[in-house]
Amino acid sequence: MLFNAVLGHESQKKSLANSLAVKRIPHAQLFEGEDGHGLLHMALAYANAVVCGDASASASMQKAAGMVHPDIHFVFPTAITSDVKTKPTSNDFLGKWRSFVSEQPFGSLYDWMRYLGAENKQGVINVNDALSVMQKVSLKSFEGGWKCVIIWHAEKLTIAASNKLLKSIEEPPSKTLFLLLCPDVFQLIATIRSRCQQTRFGGLDQGLIATYLKKKGVNTVLSAAVAEQSKGNMGKALSLVDQQNELAEYEEWFVAWVRTAFRAKGNKAVVLELSDWSLSLGAKGIETQKQFLYFAIQLFRAALMRHYKLEAVAGFYPKSDFKIERFAAFVHGANILPIISALEDSVYHLSRNGSPQMIFTELSFKLTRLLHAKA
């Protein structure tokens, strides 16, 4: 990975390249931003430049490009899996980590945990990882130059691991670079945060995302729509492309839901239909149910924007003949807050293992009342 292969962030690339040119490299640096903003790409490019220099065709750079350079070390959250049942560390998963980064370069922490088959577990960076890092940086570099440690999602360092690493970050061995990647610097303990030079990476330009998607074979219309919806997050954009079939299904469920809710007021027969819809969705998996509710929140917000003639920021592109402009007449300032609150409460109760059938039945009856509220 080279700087010119990193999407966007031109000012940050220039600043980092300048520090390399004048050989003033802070030993502890903190990159703040979301995974989908290309944070890991930037860290890899910077680490490769520090350790390997400018020779892009060198054997050293080729090893770095394959993430097998002996002087570039990776630390990331792990959890117990079917393969590693006790005291997991980053070293146990390096092969999978390289495959994950190659396949999902903008992947999130949740994507990584799902890749490990541990999506229902809390990934952490434990004290054994910290001890391993301390041992590695205490040794001479294999190629006689810099050593680099990239800590992905450094906010997942346990307190014990943070305290162990603190001494190495405060007084690192000569020519040792610590790169900490984190979505929010305030999730790190203050003693580590205060000892790092911080660089903030915001979202990517919408045009860059659309161009990247088109190069991946996505059609122009979908690329533009997804780029707008992603809000600068390439990982989210790629996920939206992958989810097109799911989104079409969610839209079908939503349309059936609101149409039945409109007809249900004062009509007992239709109320039974609404109850059947709730039972049907209640039989789906919890993650599917939650994703549908998030989709519904997005659609209601888009309808509100349409109601107040703010189509430019509506951010919804129907997959069927659903006419959001007609639906928007029933979503307004008098009912949008209780609708969104009811949907968010339903997500919360599902996360707390509430009965899906009861949650969706109650939500459906609330929606029937709220959609008939006067503006």
pLDDT at 56: 62
Minimum mean pLDDT range among 23-27, 153-157, 285-289, 301-305: 285-289
Do 176 and 44 lie in one domain? The reply is: yes
Q: How confident is the model at residue 375 (pLDDT cuts 50, 70, 90)?
A: confident
Domain ranges, residue 254: 243-371
The total of structural domains in the chain comes to 3
CATH of the domain at 77: 3.40.50.300
Do 25 and 161 lie in one domain? The reply is: yes
pLDDT at 314: 65
pLDDT of 203 strictly over 90: yes
Q: How confident is the model at residue 232 (pLDDT cuts 50, 70, 90)?
A: very high
Average pLDDT, the chain: 89
Do 335 and 362 lie in one domain? The reply is: yes
Owner of token pair 């990517």: 204
Nearest to 200 by CA among 29, 9, 370, 31: 31
End residue of a domain, out of 145, 175, 203: 203
Owner of token pair 């350790």: 51
Do 188 and 283 lie in one domain? The reply is: no
Q: Which residue has the higher pLDDT, 366 or 320?
A: 366
Q: Which residue has the higher pLDDT, 3 or 120?
A: 3
Q: How much of the chain exceeds pLDDT 90, in percent?
A: 57
Do 31 and 92 lie in one domain? The reply is: yes
Q: What's the average model confidence in pLDDT over 55-64?
A: 79
Strand order across the 197-200 sheet: 72-75, 147-151, 176-182, 28-32, 197-200
In order of 74, 94, 102, 147, 219, the CA distances from 59 in angstroms are: 20, 21, 20, 16, 38
End residue of a domain, out of 203, 229, 262: 203
Owner of token pair 């590695």: 136
Do 235 and 275 lie in one domain? The reply is: no
Q: How confident is the model at residue 1 (pLDDT cuts 50, 70, 90)?
A: low
Q: How much of the chain exceeds pLDDT 70, in percent?
A: 96
Q: How confident is the model at residue 181 (pLDDT cuts 50, 70, 90)?
A: very high
Question: With contact defined as beta carbons under 8 Å apart, do 141 and 71 qualify?
Answer: yes
Amino acid type, 52:
C
pLDDT of 2 strictly over 80: no
Residues with Cβ within 8 Å of 97's Cβ and at least 6 positions away in sequence, in order, are 67, 74, 76, 90
Helices marked H in 59-158? 59-65, 94-103, 109-115, 127-138
Q: Which residue has the higher pLDDT, 373 or 129?
A: 129
Minimum mean pLDDT range among 37-46, 78-87, 306-315, 351-360: 306-315
Q: What is the pLDDT of residues 79-108, one digit of tens each?
A: 998 888 888 999 999 999 999 999 998 999
Do 177 and 29 lie in one domain? The reply is: yes
Do 32 and 106 lie in one domain? The reply is: yes
Q: How confident is the model at residue 315 (pLDDT cuts 50, 70, 90)?
A: low
Do 223 and 117 lie in one domain? The reply is: no
Do 128 and 255 lie in one domain? The reply is: no
Do 148 and 90 lie in one domain? The reply is: yes
Do 287 and 349 lie in one domain? The reply is: yes
